[in-house]
Amino acid sequence: MLGRINHIAIAVPNLTAAAMPYKNLGAAVSDPHPLPEHGVTVVFVTLENTKVELLEPLGENSPIAGFLEKNPAGGMHHVCYEVPDILAARDRAVALGLRVLGDGTPKIGAHGKPVLFLHPKDFSGTLTELEQI
């Protein structure tokens, strides 16, 4: 069911500053992409085998605001795994008693694909995202 790691996400207070070391180390760093429907602005660092997703809060009710209050310098926010069928993955997670965040309806993520989030408490304190490829 779980495929490749699509990205590792890091919540940051300032995208420009956070992107600098990746740029200086020669990585491919995208421009900022505002995602108002997700309450974040995203920068992607594209690597050979996965991506790093840098997240900055956007708007009043950003879902990462609470995280940054607890971690003002930023920190690892979530891991995203690829799945072939997001609805089948959701239904299997629910059947296993794993908590799906929101109302369980996939949203379109930063790559234009359906995504869902599973509660960090069910994954040893790691917020887990599923993205349909």
Ligand X SMILES: CC[C@H](C(=O)O)C(=O)SCCNC(=O)CCNC(=O)[C@H](O)C(C)(C)COP(=O)(O)OP(=O)(O)OC[C@H]1O[C@@H](n2cnc3c(N)ncnc32)[C@H](O)[C@@H]1OP(=O)(O)O
Q: Which residues does the annotation mark as catalytic?
A: 129
| Minimum CB–partner distance for residue 116 and ligand X (Å) | 9
Residues that bind ligand X (CB under 6 A): 9, 35, 38, 40, 53, 55, 63-64, 66-67, 77-78, 80, 101, 109-110, 115, 117, 120, 125, 127, 129
Question: CA gyration radius for the chain?
Answer: 15
58 touches, from Co ion, ligand X, none (C-beta below 5 to 8 Å by class) = none
Phi, psi (rounded to 5 degrees) for 62: -60, 135
Measured from the CB atom, the residue of 9 and 89 that comes closer to Co ion is 9
> How many angstroms separate the Cα of 60 from the Cα of each of 37, 75, 78, 126, 127?
12, 20, 21, 24, 21
Helices assigned H by DSSP within 25-122: 65-70, 86-95
The item of ligand X, Co ion, none sharing an interface with residue 64, based on CB under 5 to 8 Å by kind, is: ligand X
